[in-house]
């Protein structure tokens, strides 16, 4: 449509006048969405990690106005979002307060528990207490020590192997699954109450505190990392769905995750089967693995499976495989080899907290896609590791438990890496 010359001149003048009277930002960027939520500049990060995380938030958050499904961020819990281990803290509290119920047989607690472990536990914990009643672990140091040693080292106090048999070493770890199995017989409400009391105790203890359980010494404090709390807050404000995925009992993890604004529906952990209102030694399966006794937990490949199944609704055997970009997380954060698969699946950024864990650090330092961010632990970071990570020879755990080279997505081997980002 053509306007008369005089009308066109008037419209042009009006347009110029409007541009000069509008605020400068509106005139320059009339369709720019509001600024995305910003990470705190007063909480320290290593190097340019804050800026790189902010860039990912600006690019992927719903604050950009790109539309479509909400982006997803997923974090491991222990030593990723908090300093120290909530499974250890809850088990320690339960042992110090006589809250572990005696099983009918210790062999019932895990399909992989050895005869040597069964004998050691039976001898140390005795048979005077009826099955289903609390063991007096607060006063019985030998019983407590056997439980703690099996949990921590997968060995008895005499050094015998506590677990044997066959399992997929990238889907489960028997001593990890064993902790939720020790809580069998409790109601979920009881375990929640115990976890909350352990939480209060560990948050109140000073940084650096230790506790003694039996004769075992372990960390006696836990702290939420300020950096991760701020990151999760910012992600949620920018429109991300934020999940926790942990090899901890889901009931225990739920007692903690609210502290960073993550609700139970967004907290994934080891799911104990509940029967007649009480926890059992049974554990929910994932993908095409049926419910069982810990054949799969959120551990290495198991974390990918749980994310695919519960967040992206991928069912059956497909849940074990890396999905297309639309069905993968944007940000993954972890601190250990148990996290390496799901953190590597992230399409926007891979956050690796350095605890000197070989496969995770091999991938972090190799930085194959340019999106890996390695950060020292935020509290009491570890010093530089002596010697290189053996990425090219024995950096990765195979399904049968043997060690082999760490390989990139294209099959090439990651060369050995030096520890460059540390305390």
Tens of pLDDT along 261-318?
A: 999 999 999 999 999 999 999 999 999 999 999 999 999 999 999 999 999 999 999 9
Give the CA angle between residues 388, 394, 398 to the nearest 5°.
145
- pLDDT band for position 34 (cuts 50, 70, 90): low
Asked, for residue 411, whether it belongs to a domain, the answer is no
Residue 332: phi, psi to the nearest 5? -125, 140
Asked, for residue 4, whether it belongs to a domain, the answer is no
> Does 78 share its domain with 95?
no
DSSP secondary structure code for residue 356 in this structure: -
- Total structural domains in the chain? 2
135 Cβ partners below 8 Å, 6+ apart?
98, 100, 101, 102, 125, 129, 143
For the stretch 305-330, pLDDT in tens is: 999 999 999 999 999 999 999 999 99
293 Cβ partners below 8 Å, 6+ apart?
110, 111, 177, 181, 281, 282, 283
> Does 299 share its domain with 163?
no
Average pLDDT, the chain: 93
Which of the residue ranges 2-11, 125-134, 148-157 would you say has the lowest mean pLDDT?
Answer: 2-11
> Does 198 share its domain with 295?
no
The β-bridge partners of 73 are 242, 331
> Does 369 share its domain with 251?
yes
- pLDDT band for position 7 (cuts 50, 70, 90): very low
Asked, for residue 42, whether it belongs to a domain, the answer is no
Per-residue pLDDT at 279: 98
For the stretch 152-184, pLDDT in tens is: 999 999 999 999 999 999 999 999 999 999 999
Asked, for residue 95, whether it belongs to a domain, the answer is yes
Asked, for residue 175, whether it belongs to a domain, the answer is yes
Once rounded to an integer, what is the mean pLDDT over residues 223-247?
98
Final residue before a domain boundary, out of 171, 201, 219? 219
The boundaries of the domain holding residue 250 are 49-82+224-404
377 or 22, greater pLDDT: 377
The β-bridge partners of 362 are none
> Does 56 share its domain with 175?
no
Asked, for residue 337, whether it belongs to a domain, the answer is yes
CATH number for the domain that contains residue 323:
3.40.50.1000
Asked, for residue 28, whether it belongs to a domain, the answer is no
Asked, for residue 17, whether it belongs to a domain, the answer is no
Full-model pTM: 0.91
Short-list 422, 374, 292, 335, CA closest to 76? 335
């Amino acid at each position: 449509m053509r306007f008369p010359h005089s009308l066109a001149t008037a419209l042009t003048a009006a347009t110029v006048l409007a541009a000069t009277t509008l605020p400068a930002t509106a005139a320059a960027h009339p369709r720019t969405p509001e600024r995305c939520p910003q990470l705190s500049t007063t909480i320290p990060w290593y190097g340019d990690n804050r800026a790189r995380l902010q860039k990912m938030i600006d690019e992927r958050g719903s604050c950009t106005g790109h539309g479509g499904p909400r982006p997803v961020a997923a974090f491991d819990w222990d030593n990723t979002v908090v300093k120290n281990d909530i499974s250890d803290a809850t088990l320690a509290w339960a042992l110090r307060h006589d809250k572990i119920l005696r099983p009918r047989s210790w062999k019932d607690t895990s399909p992989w528990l050895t005869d040597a472990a069964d004998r050691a536990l039976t001898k140390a914990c005795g048979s005077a207490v009826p099955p289903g009643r609390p063991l007096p672990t607060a006063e019985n140091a030998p019983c407590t020590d056997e439980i703690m040693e099996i949990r921590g080292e997968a060995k008895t106090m005499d050094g015998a192997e506590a677990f044997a048999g066959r399992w997929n070493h990238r889907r489960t770890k028997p001593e990890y699954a064993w902790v939720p199995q020790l809580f069998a017989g409790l109601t979920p409400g009881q375990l929640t109450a115990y976890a909350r009391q352990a939480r209060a105790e560990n948050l109140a203890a000073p940084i650096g505190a230790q506790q003694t359980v039996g004769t075992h010494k372990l960390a006696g404090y836990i702290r939420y990392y300020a950096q991760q709390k701020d990151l999760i807050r910012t992600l949620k404000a920018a429109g991300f769905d934020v999940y926790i995925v942990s090899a901890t009992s889901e009931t225990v993890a739920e007692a903690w995750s609210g502290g960073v604004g993550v609700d139970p529906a967004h907290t994934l952990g080891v799911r104990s089967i509940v029967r007649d209102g009480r926890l059992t030694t049974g554990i929910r399966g994932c993908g095409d693995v049926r419910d069982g006794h810990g054949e799969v937990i959120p551990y290495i490949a198991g974390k990918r499976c749980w994310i695919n199944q519960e967040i992206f609704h991928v069912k059956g055997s497909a849940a074990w495989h890396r999905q297309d970009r639309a069905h993968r997380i944007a940000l993954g954060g972890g601190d250990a080899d148990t996290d390496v698969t799901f953190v590597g699946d992230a399409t926007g950024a891979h956050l690796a907290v350095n605890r000197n864990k070989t496969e995770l650090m091999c991938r972090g330092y190799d930085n194959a896609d340019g999106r890996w961010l390695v950060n020292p632990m935020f509290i009491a970071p570890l010093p530089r590791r002596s010697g290189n990570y053996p990425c090219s020879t024995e950096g990765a755990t195979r399904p049968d438990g043997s060690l082999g080279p760490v390989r990139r997505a294209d099959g090439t081997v990651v060369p050995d890496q030096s520890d460059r980002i540390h305390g």
